[in-house]
A and B are shown apart, each in its own frame.
Chain A
Amino acid sequence: MHLTELTENVHEIAREGEMRVPTRVFASEPLLEKMREEGRTLEQGSNVATLPGIQKYSVVLPDGHLGYGFPIGGVAAVAMDGGVVSPGGIGFDINCGVRVLRTDLDYDDVRGHEQALVDRLYDLVPCGLGRGGYVRTDRDDLEGILAVGMEWMRDAGHARQADLDHCEESGRLPGDPDAVPEDAKRRGVNQVGSLGSGNHFLEVQRVTDLYDAATADAFGLREGQVVVMIHSGSRGLGHQVCQEYIRRFERTYPDLVDSLPDRQLVYAPLGDPVAEDYLGAMYAAANFAWANRQAMTQAVREAVADLFDTDAVDLVYDVCHNVAKEETHTVDGEDVEVLVHRKGATRAFPAGHPDVPEAYRDVGQPVLLPGSMGTHSYVLAGGERSMELTFGSTAHGAGRLKSRTQAKREYTAGDLQQRLRSEGVYVKARSGATVAEEAPGAYKDVDEVVRVSDALGIGTKVARMRPVCNVKG
């Protein structure tokens, strides 16, 4: 597989074999090297380029790494007319995403209370499997959430109107609850407001650096401020939707399976009944994910009110990084209606784009990039070149460097927690194994991912945060 450098941080794999378009890789040499070490990340990017209806090129972003079918950090825009939808291009955890809450607290207000805060958050937000969710829901509630997402949360008293106004798509996509498989609903009914396991987390952070004071001000961020980042998705419900539709696609198009470079890339032509059902179910699962992150927001509000006697916990923004959405993009000088698959990729619309919430339209959409629990996280703004280069997208985080098994071999939970504590980071996790698996050293350098995004002009730096308390599933 030959990579040609087009310009700084932009590389191309030319069309070959079954590829319908080239693959563009947006990465610096150190990030490229890590992709090569993983073996199949770039190959997966080129497999995506074989999808019918794909436009312009298959995109691999700076945090690209090995996924299932699609690379994580992958974007594909397929024409609504003649294109396909691939559940593998959205991922199992539909609308896995990130939100940031700002508080009116300074780091000095929280210092000395970190242990109490992390304990309270851990008690309120269920982690792992088997502890339910923060908001109790029954089947009727779930149907409402699947249909209208954050609007149900608001109407039930679990969200403020301002939360909807500061959320991608206002926290609602056109979900079809009837298209959601029964077992998915059974998995989701008691998981509204639950963190899950793996790389999902809830983290209290302090803003340490501002790079763009005017945009930070528009986002309500200031140096020394305490913010809270939540990374989670649609839990078992979203996974069940993805899993069952992959199987349904396979059974509907049996001849397709044998022709694919990777079975996980199975797809259905847009407009076919099974594709329309999947889109309705996927959007419903996205609504569930927003409700899930919103429920955890309510838990954070309860903890902060209990310990610091303030209700000033406001949503800065909430982004999806596993989703497909209908958008209009310019291809060869023409406006084309496309379904943009973003798998481990964040929408990064620039200032002036009509889909950016009104509050941020003058500065661009907030882009939220988590690091690992011992390193920085970032807030970026959608960059001017994102529409031209990456279908309005940028990276979604650091990306793993070491496997979970390798991390567990190399790190011990006790040592890590002690070291992080000495750096002012309080960690509370479901198990010691979780702490070791999520060790900062197990992740790539998020600073380099952000540097490349900023240099490309697809997502530009606004603020950087350091962890204070971290709750892990």
Chain B
Amino acid sequence: MGYELLSHPADARFRARGPSLDDAFVEAVRAFAAIAEGGEAADSRREVHVESEDREALLFDFLADLVLLQELEGVAVVDAADCTVSTTADGYALDATLLVAPIEEPLFDVKSPTYSEMRVEEGDDGWVLEATLDV
């Protein structure tokens, strides 16, 4: 189903679609990688686990983890091999396997997710995620 980079007056915004919520999160990773202008040749994997109280918070916390991964490990997020969303007693959990590459040229600095006009919605064609990243 894919992703689109949307217009935003100051920052970066994307829409990710998938037949399942898992697939939509995979597309969200690809959108994030496109915004950060990371490399294309992944050479390693990272596992990410996030737990949050609702789906919007799950997307916020997951994007926050992608930002942290890039900054603290010095790698560029390139793609996701797999994302699995499950329910927990307190909300939702997300387990993801990310494909990452060394940072060769400085990345575009994605600094934080925001809740601004965030969407996590199920429609007739599957799931749609929308988020704005502070850049």
Contacts and interface: CB of A to CB of B under 8 A. Distances in A.
Interface of A: 38, 65-69, 72, 92-93, 126-131, 183, 186-187, 196-199, 235-236, 239-240, 242-243, 246-247, 250-251, 254, 262-264, 400-406, 430-431, 433-434, 473
A45 to B, nearest CB: 15
B71 A187 contact: yes
Given A128-B108, A264-B115, A404-B8, A92 B71 contact: no
Contact of B134 (A66, A93, A401, A433): A93
B115 A65 contact: no
Interface in B76-127: 103, 105-116, 118
Contacts of B37: 431, 433
16 contacts: A38-B9, A67-B116, A129-B70, A130-B74, A187-B71, A199-B10, A236-B109, A239-B134, A246-B115, A251-B53, A262-B116, A400-B9, A400-B10, A404-B8, A430-B108, A431-B105
Contacts of B116: 67-69, 262, 264
A330 to B, nearest CB: 33
Nearest to B7: A403
A473 B108 CA distance: 8
B111 A239 contact: yes
Q: How large is the interface on B (under 10, 10 to 19, 20 to 34, 35 or more residues)?
A: 35 or more
Given A92-B111, A264-B116, A254 B53 contact: yes
A232 to B, nearest CB: 11
B115 A68 contact: yes
A401 B57 CA distance: 30
Contacts of B112: 92, 239-240, 242-243
Contacts of A128: 105-109
Given A197-B109, A247-B57, A263-B118, 4 more contacts: A65-B10, A183-B68, A264-B114, A403-B10
Contacts of B42: none
Contact of B111 (A126, A236, A401, A430): A236
Contact of B72 (A72, A127, A183, A242): A183
A65 B109 contact: no
Contact of B71 (A65, A129, A131, A473): A129
Nearest first, the 3 closest Cβ-Cβ pairs linking A and B are A128-B106, A197-B109, A403-B7
B92 to A, nearest CB: 14
Nearest to B112: A239
Given A130-B74, A247-B60, A433-B37, A68 B114 contact: yes
B106 to A, nearest CB: 3
A333 B33 CA distance: 54
A423 to B, nearest CB: 25
Nearest to B75: A130
Contacts of A198: 11, 109, 135
B89 to A, nearest CB: 15
Nearest to B76: A130
Nearest to A265: B115
Contacts of A243: 64, 112-113
Contacts of B9: 38, 65-66, 400-403
Q: Report which residue of B8, B10, B135 has the largest number of chain A beta carbons within 10 angstroms of its beta carbon.
A: B10
A403 B103 contact: no
B132 A68 contact: yes
B115 A263 contact: yes
Given A92-B111, A129-B109, A236 B134 contact: no
Contacts of A264: 114-116
Nearest to B36: A129
Contacts of B67: 236, 239
A433 B106 contact: no
A68 B134 contact: yes
B48 interface: no
A442 B132 CA distance: 19
B115 A187 contact: no
B114 A196 contact: no
A380 B108 CA distance: 32
Contacts of A65: 9-10
Q: Report which residue of B72, B110, B115 has the largest number of chain A beta carbons within 10 angstroms of its beta carbon.
A: B115
A405 B7 contact: yes
Contacts of A235: 111
A387 to B, nearest CB: 29
Contacts of B105: 128, 430-431
A262 B132 CA distance: 14
Contacts of B60: 247
A129 B108 CA distance: 6
B7 A406 contact: yes
B68 A434 contact: no
A431 B61 contact: no
Contact of A197 (B8, B61, B135): B135
Interface string B16-41: 00000000000000000000110000
Contacts of A246: 115
